Every structure is written in structure tokens, then in C-alpha cells.
Amino acid sequence: MRRASVFRLSMAHPGDVSALDRLITDGTVRAAEVVAVIGKTEGNGGVNDFTRGYFTQSLMGLLSRHLNRPPARLIREIPCVLSGGTEGVMSPHYSVFCISAGAAVPREFPSALAIGTAFSEPVPAEEIGRRAHVESVASAVRSAVGDAGIERLEEVHFVQVKCPCVTAARAAAAVAAGKAPRTSDSSRSMAFARAAGAFGVALALNEIAPEDFDDDSLLTDFSIQSPRASISSGIEVECNEVVVLGNSSGWSGPLRIAHRPMIDALDIGAVVDTLADLDIEARPQVASGAVSRIASVLVKCEPDRRGNVRGNRHTMLDDIDINAQRHIRGAVAGLVAGVVGDGRIFVSGGAEHQGPDGGGLLAIIASQRPDGSA
């Protein structure tokens, strides 16, 4: 019986993987058991945020030294999903997901956190943001669900996907080859890729049926959404990378995951309810003794595209000094951190079709042991 562990580690700067190095060196973490990393780095979160690449290079270099395998290979096996931007009270950190072969110890809880990963085939430029892309993601998600050994889809609580997008250069190459990419604008392409990722998750989890959408639905019909899809998109990947998190009776260990959609940026109830699903009270904040039970907090959010929150005008979308995604991350992180009492939370923007329009979603992994020990 496999056992999932999550190590949430702080970094002093985006090239600092010393905390993981120490855990590997002292034997707490076995490098070969690392299956995925999800983290927040202190960049701006935009196209010109290089803190993600810096951290990834540092992480893969570290694992390469410990595993004696080339970084270029590891990067195709271990999803490393980073969101730039630690606005406000967020603290730069990364969660290392590990799977160890089950010990012979008796099961402690009826079910426990299950992790599965998968990589799709490369997505051709002309397919990005279209049905073929959606199906490629769906297929990889199904594969990762299988990898996790999760039998019932309602036990899937969070699916992180990293999708490729079309750069101006890739778009030009596709056109030269007689193909028609959906857009040649890289930032628009990133949004289409995130939409395709969300549709793919919804499809794999049977939240929508194949006939429920066509290409025009992406970035248009926001009634189509998955409250379990967290999608990022970047020029650095060519295939879809998937991490599925859920609960399964086939796994041991004290961890458990729960999730909720967020109706809008003020939906504090979603945070409190998700904690309640994990038997953690927040009245109004998680008690200091229980903070250590929380292993990871994962949030997606989006500035409301209609320009207001509960009827009051917001100014995020028209601000050319601060990017709208930086605004919303800072606000939602302030709310979520206030409830959980901790700034080491993953709050990521670009939540098109990921939870309700104008809102987003939230997942929390916590220990089922009252003392929070892992």
C-alpha cells in the first residue's frame, strides 16, 4: 500500500532549494520518491517572470546530483508547477509530493491522499486551444487518475495541469507549414490553453460530456467549468503535465484532501467549509494548535471580468501599473491566509473555466491526526 507525503518548504529566493537538500541529506526525503512539486515563487507571474525557470533549474540540478541522472530527463518525469507572484502576505514556498512504497504497518484511516501523474504526447501548435487539446488533456488526466489508483471520480479533488501554448515563433512555424493556429498572440494562446486544460479535466471527470462543447465554447461559455481543475500554461512545456490529487482506500498515511468552488473573491465560506470537510474548525481562524495539520493550500482565482464584485466596481482590469492577476492573487491570498493563519499558500490566477466565473476554487490537504504529525 502506497503512502503519500507532502513537504511544504520555504525558499529564501527562487534559486534556493536548500531546504529540500537538507531533507534529502538527513534522510527525511528520498530523492527517488519525489513525484511532483507545486510552488509559489516571488516573480511577477507574467510572461517575463523568470523565477519559475530559475527555481526549476535549481530543483532539477539538485535532484540530478542526488539521483545521478541528467536534469533534462527529470524535467520530463517530475511535474514542477510554479506560480509566480507572492503578493501581499503570501510566502515563497514549494510543496514536494512524495510517494513511498507502503510499509507493512496497519492502515490508520479508511482512506488517504492519493497522487497520480501523467505526461501527454506533445500538442501540435494548431491543436492548442481546440478540441484535440481538450481530449489530449482528458486522456492524460484519466491516465493520472489510474496512476493514483483512485476508483471513484468523486474522490478526485484537485487536478493540476500544465499546458503548452503557442509562442509567436511556434505560430509562425505552424503557418509556414500550412497549419492554422487558433491565435498567434502568446498571451491569448495561454488563455486558450488554460481553457482547454479546464475542459479536459471536466471531460475526464465526467463533469461535461463530449457533446456539451465545441471550439467556440472555450473562453466564451463560462457556465462550463470544473471546480477541481487548476491549469497553468507556459512556453516551456510541449506536452500536458498532469498531477491528480484525491483520496483513496488504497493509500495509507494521515493526509486527506478536500475542495470547494469559490463563488467570488469574497467567498470566505468556501475556505471555512473546506476546512470543515477536513474536521478543522476556523472560528474565525484555525486555532494555532491546528495550523500544523494543514499540509498544503491550493487556490485558483480570477478578477471578475464584468468589472465588479457583488455589485461594487473594482479597478483591477483597467490598472496598467499592477497587472490584474497580481491584484486578485493578493486579495484572495489575504482572505485565505487570514482564515488558515499561514501565508504559505498557493494562490494562482488565470482561472478561466476553473470554478465559477469571477471566483475560482480551493483545495486543502491536511493531516487527519489531531496533532498534525505526518
- Judged by CB under 8 A, the stretch of 20-28, 198-206, 313-321, 357-365 that binds a copy of itself is 313-321
Residue 304 and residue 358 in contact, taking contact as beta carbons nearer than 8 Å:
yes
- Type and span of the H or E element at 157: strand 156-164
Under the criterion CB under 8 A, does residue 348 sit at the interface with a copy of itself?
A: no
Nearest distance in Å: CB 25, a copy of itself? 17
Nearest distance in Å: CB 176, a copy of itself? 16
Q: Tell me the C-alpha distance between 218 and 213, whole Å.
A: 8
Among 12, 72, 176, 209, binds a copy of itself (CB under 8 A): 12
Residue 11 and residue 55 in contact, taking contact as beta carbons nearer than 8 Å:
yes
Helices 324-340 and 268-277 meet at what angle, rounded to 10? 50
- Type and span of the H or E element at 271: helix 268-277
Residue 113 and residue 258 in contact, taking contact as beta carbons nearer than 8 Å:
no
Catalytic one of 40, 162, 189, 226 = 162
- Judged by CB under 8 A, the stretch of 7-15, 129-137, 154-162, 204-212 that binds a copy of itself is 7-15
Residues 32-91 that bind a copy of itself (CB under 8 A): 42-51, 53-54, 57-58, 61, 86-91
Nearest distance in Å: CB 212, a copy of itself? 26
Contacts with a copy of itself, 234-273, as mask; x by CB under 8 A: -------------------------------xxxxx-xx-
Residue type, 116: G
**Beta-carbon neighbour count of residue 374 at 10 Å?**
13
Could you tell me whether strands 156-164 and 229-234 are parallel, antiparallel, or unpaired per DSSP bridges? parallel
Is 120 an active-site residue? no
- Judged by CB under 8 A, the stretch of 120-128, 205-213, 245-253, 326-334 that binds a copy of itself is 326-334
Nearest distance in Å: CB 306, a copy of itself? 9
Residue 225 and residue 351 in contact, taking contact as beta carbons nearer than 8 Å:
no
Active site residues: 162, 232
